[in-house]
Structure 1
Amino acid sequence: MKDIAESQERLKGLFNIAVTPFADDGTIDFSALEENLGRVIDLGYDGILIGGTYGEFPTMRLEERAELFGRVMELVGDRLPVMLCTADSDPRAVGELTELASSLGGAPMVTAPYVSEVTEDQIVAFFQAMAPRSRTGIVIYNAPGIGITLSPGVLERLAEIDGIVALKQGDLSPTAIDVLASRLNGRLRLFCASDLAFLGPLSAGFDGLSSTNSCAFPELIRAAYAALAADEAARAGELQRLWYPFRAMARRHGQPQSTKAAMNLRGFRGGRVRPPLRDLDAGARQELAPVVAAIAEASAGIGRSNAA
């Protein structure tokens, strides 16, 4: 993407949140990452998100993140829009990564600065300082998982900043979704941040979905999203319920370790997680195996049905 206008046009649809596959020695397995990205590209995903919270960016050095951005953009090129997570606790690092992401043709995705007792005015000032550093605009990532939840009121203030093009919304409470869909629709591209509960936000008018579990179940999540986009809400709900047993396990064992374990069970090269996370133990993997097998079979059935 070359500028803000192109970002606003292309940032929509179903985005795969790529996990970062780490090898046994802790390095990034770029061969596995290329294979995993190729799978979702071939299935017709609309975009990719790299190095997010489930991509384990807090466990990476800045040099690793820069290399990750460069390798992915070299691979993907301009075929799909790519969000590149440039979040960090240090605003200097955010600025450097944001400039890099933009120069590579990606859309920088920025969280609020996660320091204690930061005020709303300070958060707004932070985004005002970051926005001019990207020629492709900035995606706000409202990420409660890092300890700060941006209220709809703050998000409305941020939407007024030149260069803010999209919002990846992690607070999926019904009230927040209602306010944002009603007041920001058409001003920013609105993304549901989680595939665990996306039917409501997309039905309310959100523009897209970012999905981590599409790394493990890309066919099924693609089919559910397509059904909802085609105004087949009942069918979308039916497909979403097919993988509820995995969602229940993921909520117990955590992410992205559950997704990586499911990928590995399917032969998808999910790799390992980095500390402080831990890979699922043998007992959890044994419990997960029949769940993944059943969902894989259901996904294969969907593929055969679509081919027919």
Structure 2
Amino acid sequence: MKANGTDLTTASGVYVIAATPFHDDGRIDEKSTDSMVDFYRACGADGLTILGVMGEAPKLAAEESVAISKQIIKRAGPSMPVIVGVSAPGFAAMRSLARTVMDAGAAGVMIAPPNTLRTDDQIVGYYKQAVDAIGDDVPFCIQDFPITFSVVMSPKVIRSIIQELPSCVMLKHEDWPGLEKISTLRGFEADGSMRHVSILCGNGGLFLDFECERGADGAMTGYAFPDMLVDVVRLQKAGKRDAAHDLFDAHLPLIRYEQQPGAGLAVRKYLLKKRGVIASDAQRKPSAPLSAKARAEVDYLFDRLSKLDARAKAA
């Protein structure tokens, strides 16, 4: 299924989960937004995903979500597809944002399940209702992130959504542990019981080295070194397993630190600021800024990484 010239069922590589840059006073920083998109392009990103959990989407007003989506879609251009998170408490808001961003040139949307869902039938039913709301001409990505959304999707449930809804084109896989889930889904594809969709993985890239080996097509995450993620996926595709793991292992201490629940976004924005990507590491309130001790620890890991990867240089 194609939308705006892009078939997301075949997406691969790295779709970066973009942060939302703010000024220190909480206003959206349009200049840093443009520089961030340019940075991701220079890193070799294949696409962008915006208004996700790390994009602080719930803290944005509806008009801000539309404005930043249009800005990023325009800046990215046709060569870098943009997926927009449209998860919302109600379908009216979801439909409004989805139709608006698709008209602006988005390649698709991402939908996370609400935490009220408990049974398999409820999960599948929710996605059917979401498609009814946004239209079956809008390609969508399932966001499977049980640690955050408290909704556990079995491989069979994901298969049901994919098989019953042709506009489902992608899975953002963020289960943890989740390697066996990837293998099971690719097994469904191999035995003909599930059509092919792209599987891109999140969790800050924490398991990307093995996720690629299990059949994932790449990453959809926002680790502050997306250029490293691009290289790991490329090396895995080229069959250079040891080189991919060596590079990944060099970054693992910083990836681990960035994945701390509650502190991850603050770490990521601080690192993006250190790399000269955004002007401020501010989060919109409510937020949890890094302590001076935490910043010192990130600086230490950053400096250690610079001895193994020259990209770890402060701007």
**Aligned counterparts of 2:105 and 2:154: Cα–Cα separation in 1:** 30
| Structure 1 counterpart of 2:222 | 212
Between the aligned partners of 1:202 and 1:79, the Cα distance in structure 2 is 23
1:301 Cα offset (Å): 6.8
1:39, distance to aligned residue in structure 2 (A): 1.1
3-state secondary structure, aligned to 1:277: coil
Counterpart selection for 1:239 from 239, 247, 255? 247
Q: Which residue matches 2:196? A: 187
For 2:202 and 2:7, how far apart are their aligned partners in 1?
18
Deviation at 1:5, TM superposition (A): 7.8
Distance 1:301 1:265 in 2: 11
Within 5 A, what are the aligned runs for 1:114-125? Answer: 114=115, 116-125=116-125
Match of 1:276 among 253, 272, 286: 286
**Counterpart Cα distance in 2 of 1:117 and 1:164:** 19
Q: TM-score, normalised by structure 1?
A: 0.88
1:109 equivalent in alignment to 2:113: no
Tell me the TM-score normalised to structure 2 length: 0.87
Structure 1 segments, 4+ long, off by >4 Å, are none
Q: CA deviation at 1:4?
A: 8.2
Looking at structure 2, the residues matched to 224 and 275 of structure 1 have their Cα atoms a distance apart, in angstroms, of 34
Q: Which structure 1 residue ranges, 5 or more long, are not aligned?
A: 304-308
Is the alpha carbon distance of 1:126 and 1:102 closer, same or farther for their aligned partners in structure 2, counting shifts above 3 Å?
farther
Indicate how the Cα distance of structure 1 residues 96 and 296 shifts in structure 2: closer, same or farther if over 3 A, else same: farther
Q: Could you say what secondary structure the match of 2:55 adopts?
A: coil
Partner residue, 1:137: 139
Q: Matched residues in 2 for 1:30 and 1:212: separation? A: 19
Alignment of 1:9-88 (within 5 A): 11-88=11-88
Query: Once superposed, what is the RMSD of the aligned Cα atoms?
Result: 2.4
Q: Secondary structure at the match of 2:7?
A: helix
Q: What's the % identity of the aligned pairs?
A: 23
| d(CA) in 1 for partners of 2:40, 2:234 | 14
Amino acid at match of 2:16: N
Is it true that 1:288 corresponds to 2:290 in the alignment? no
Match of 2:266 among 248, 257, 271: 257
Q: Secondary structure at the match of 1:274?
A: coil
Structure-2 change in CA distance of 1:117 and 1:136 (3 Å)? closer
Instruction: Please give the alpha-carbon distance, in whole angstroms, between the structure 2 residues aligned to 1:39 and 1:65.
Output: 21
Q: Which amino acid aligns with 2:82?
A: V
Structure 2, unpaired ranges of 5+: none
**How far apart are residue 134 of structure 1 and its match?**
5.4
Structure 1 residue 151 displacement after superposition: 1.6
Contact in 2 for aligned 1:217/1:296 (Cα 8 Å)? no
**Alpha-carbon distance change, 162 to 4 in structure 1, aligned in 2, over 3 angstroms:** farther
Q: Which amino acid aligns with 1:293?
A: D
Q: Distance in 2 between matches of 1:81 and 1:134?
A: 19
Counterpart residue type for residue 76 of structure 2? V
Name the amino acid aligned to 2:35: E
